[in-house]
C-alpha cells in the first residue's frame, strides 16, 4: 500500500500541468482575445486561473473576449474543485466503477481522510458547489441589474460568484471591486462565498450532518477550522484599523471603513479581491496582509496558504511546549506527533521556498523588495492580491519573462501544496526496519 501512496501527488501535479497547457492553447486562439498576446502571458493567465490565484498580466475585461472570459471561468471552476474531482464525478454519474488508484488520487485532491464514503462525499461536494455558486450569482445579479445591461449583469454575476467561491479573485472589472467599496451588499455576498469556499468541503459536510442531527458533535477538525477562521477574520479587521490609522483609507466614513477592512481581512486569506488600493496602504498593513495570505484558508477547500489548521497546530504546540507540557491537546483531543511534525515541515518548506524565490526575483528584477516579497507570498498562497503597476494589472506585469516564470512555478507549487509538490518530485521515503541510536544535540 505504501507504494501506491507515491502516485496521487504526482498525478495531481500532472493533471494541473495538463489543464494549464490546454488552457494556454485555448486562450491563444483568435476568438479568445481582443488583441495578440504572447505565449508567456497566455500561460501566466491560464496558470493563475487553474491555480485560482488571480494575479493578472492582462486585463481580463478588456484583453479577452466573452469567449476568452468564459474559458478563464471554466479553468477557475475546474482548478478550484480539482481536475480529478470533475472527472471522477462524471464517471460516477455514468455509473462507471472507480478503482482503488482513482480513489487514492481523489482523496488526495479533496483532502479527504480515508476512502470510506468518498464517492458519497464527492457527490455532496459537487452539488453543494453548484448550488452555492448559483445562489451567489442570483444574489449578485439583484445588485448588478441596477448598474449594467441585463445580459452583462447575468454574466458578471455568474463570473464573480464562481470566482469568489473558488477564491480566485478574477474580475472582469479593470479595477477589480474598487467601485463597490461603498456597496456593502455586494461585499457581504462576495465575503460569504469566499468563506464558504475556504472552509473546506469536509467542514461543510460535517456542519450539514450536525445540523441535520445525524451526528452528535462536530469533529475536532471542524471546530479548529471554524475557530481559527473566525479569529483570523476578527484580528485581521482590527489589525487594519490599527495599521491604517493616519493613512488614506482612514479618511473613509467609519461604516465604510469597517466593511472594507473586514472585506480585505476575508479576501486576503486567498481570495484576492480588493476594494481598496493596496499601493496606498501602509507598509505595516501590507505586512499584516502578507501574514494573512501566508496562513491562507483551510484544508480541502478552494483556498491556498499553509492552511489554518497547520498554523493552529504549530501555534498551540509552541504554547504547550513553553508551558512545559508534553502533549498537544486541542478541544480535549491529543494531536499525534506525526501531525505536528508534518505541520512543522510544511511551515519550514513554505518559508524556505518563499525566501528563495524572493531572493532570486530581487536579484534578477531589481525592484522594490517589499513589493516583490508581497507578490511572491500572494502567488504562493494563491491569493492574487497585488500592489499593481499603475494600469490596474498585477505588479508582476512589469517582471521580465524569467520573473514571470518564477511566479508561474510558485502558483503551481502553492496550489498543489509544497509538501505534495516535494513528494511528487522526489517520492516518499519507504519505512526502514533499521533503528539508529539516539544522538544528543544541544539546542
326-356 pLDDT, tens digit each:
888 888 888 888 889 999 999 999 999 999 9
pLDDT in tens, 230-273: 999 999 999 999 999 988 888 889 999 999 999 999 999 888 89
Provide, rounded to the nearest whole percent, the portion of the chain with pLDDT above 90: 53
Q: Pick the more confident residue, 302 or 31.
A: 31
Place 87 in a pLDDT band, splitting at 50, 70 and 90: low
| Contacting residues for 304 by C-beta, under 8 A, at least 6 apart | 51, 52, 53, 167, 270, 296, 297, 380, 381, 382, 383, 414, 415
What mean pLDDT do residues 216-231 have? 91
Instruction: Please give, one letter per residue, the 3-state secondary structure of 363-390.
Output: HHHCCCHHHHHHHHHHHHCCCCCCCCCC
pLDDT in tens, 154-183: 999 999 999 999 999 899 998 889 899 999
Distance CA 132, CA 65 (A): 26
Place 311 in a pLDDT band, splitting at 50, 70 and 90: very high
pLDDT of residue 3: 39
Distance CA 208, CA 370 (A): 42
Residue 91 has pLDDT above 60, yes or no: no
Residue 391 has pLDDT above 70, yes or no: no
What mean pLDDT do residues 85-99 have? 56
Torsion angles phi and psi, residue 327, rounded to 5: -105, 145
Instruction: Please give, one letter per residue, the 3-state secondary structure of 101-153.
Output: HHHHHHHHHHCCCCCCCHHHHHHHHHHHHHHHHHHHHHHHHHHHCCCCCHHHH
Q: Are 398 and 375 in contact (CB under 8 A)?
A: no
Query: CB count, 10 Å around CB of 54?
Result: 32
The overall longest dimension of the chain from CA atoms, in Å, is 73
pLDDT of residue 66: 94
Of the candidates 397, 385, 389, which has an alpha carbon nearest to the alpha carbon of residue 53? Answer: 385
Q: Are 350 and 380 in contact (CB under 8 A)?
A: yes
pLDDT of residue 434: 73
Place 1 in a pLDDT band, splitting at 50, 70 and 90: very low
pLDDT of residue 5: 44
pLDDT of residue 441: 78
Amino acid at each position: 500500500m505504501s507504494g501506491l501512496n507515491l502516485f496521487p501527488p504526482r498525478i495531481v501535479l500532472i493533471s494541473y500541468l495538463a489543464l494549464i497547457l490546454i488552457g494556454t492553447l485555448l486562450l491563444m486562439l483568435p476568438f479568445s482575445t481582443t488583441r495578440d498576446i504572447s505565449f508567456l502571458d497566455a500561460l501566466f493567465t491560464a496558470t493563475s486561473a487553474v491555480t485560482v490565484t488571480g494575479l493578472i498580466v492582462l486585463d481580463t475585461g478588456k484583453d479577452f473576449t466573452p469567449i476568452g472570459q468564459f474559458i478563464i471561468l471554466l479553468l477557475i471552476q475546474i482548478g478550484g474543485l480539482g481536475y480529478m474531482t470533475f472527472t471522477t464525478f462524471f464517471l460516477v454519474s455514468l455509473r462507471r466503477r472507480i478503482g482503488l488508484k482513482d480513489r487514492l488520487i481523489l482523496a488526495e485532491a479533496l483532502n479527504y481522510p480515508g476512502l470510506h464514503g468518498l464517492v458519497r462525499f464527492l457527490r455532496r461536494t459537487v452539488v453543494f458547489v453548484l448550488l452555492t455558486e448559483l445562489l451567489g450569482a442570483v444574489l449578485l445579479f439583484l445588485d448588478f441589474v441596477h448598474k449594467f445591461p441585463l445580459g452583462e449583469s447575468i454574466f458578471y454575476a455568474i463570473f464573480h460568484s464562481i470566482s469568489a467561491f473558488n477564491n480566485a479573485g478574477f474580475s472582469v472589472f479593470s479595477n477589480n471591486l474598487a467601485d463597490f467599496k461603498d456597496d456593502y451588499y455586494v461585499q457581504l455576498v462576495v465575503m460569504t462565498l469566499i468563506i464558504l469556499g475556504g472552509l473546506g468541503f469536509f467542514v461543510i459536510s460535517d456542519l450539514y450532518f450536525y445540523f441535520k442531527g445525524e451526528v452528535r458533535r462536530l469533529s475536532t477538525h471542524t471546530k479548529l477550522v471554524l475557530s481559527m477562521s473566525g479569529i483570523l477574520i476578527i484580528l485581521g479587521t482590527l489589525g487594519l484599523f490599527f495599521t491604517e490609522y493616519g493613512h488614506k483609507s482612514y479618511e473613509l466614513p467609519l461604516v465604510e471603513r469597517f466593511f472594507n477592512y473586514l472585506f480585505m481581512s476575508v479576501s486576503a486569506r486567498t481570495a484576492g479581491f480588493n476594494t481598496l488600493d493596496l499601493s496606498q496602504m501602509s507598509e505595516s498593513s501590507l505586512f499584516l496582509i502578507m501574514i494573512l495570505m501566508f496562513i491562507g484558508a483551510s484544508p480541502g477547500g478552494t483556498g491556498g496558504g499553509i492552511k489554518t489548521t497547520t498554523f493552529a497546530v504549530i501555534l498551540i504546540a509552541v504554547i504547550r511546549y513553553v508551558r512545559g507540557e508534553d502533549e498537544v491537546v486541542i478541544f480535549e483531543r491529543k494531536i499525534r506527533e506525526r501531525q505536528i511534525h508534518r505541520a512543522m515541515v510544511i511551515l519550514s518548506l513554505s518559508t524556505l521556498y518563499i525566501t528563495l524565490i524572493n531572493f532570486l526575483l530581487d536579484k534578477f528584477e531589481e525592484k522594490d523588495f517589499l513589493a516583490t516579497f508581497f507578490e511572491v507570498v500572494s502567488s504562493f498562497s494563491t491569493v492574487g492580491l497585488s500592489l499593481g503597476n499603475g494600469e490596474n494589472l498585477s505588479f508582476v506585469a512589469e517582471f521580465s519573462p524569467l520573473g514571470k516564470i518564477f511566479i508561474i512555478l510558485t502558483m503551481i507549487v502553492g496550489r498543489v501544496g509544497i509538501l505534495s509538490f516535494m513528494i511528487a518530485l522526489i517520492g516518499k521515503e519507504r519505512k526502514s526496519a533499521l533503528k539508529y541510536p539516539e544522538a544528543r544535540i544541544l539546542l
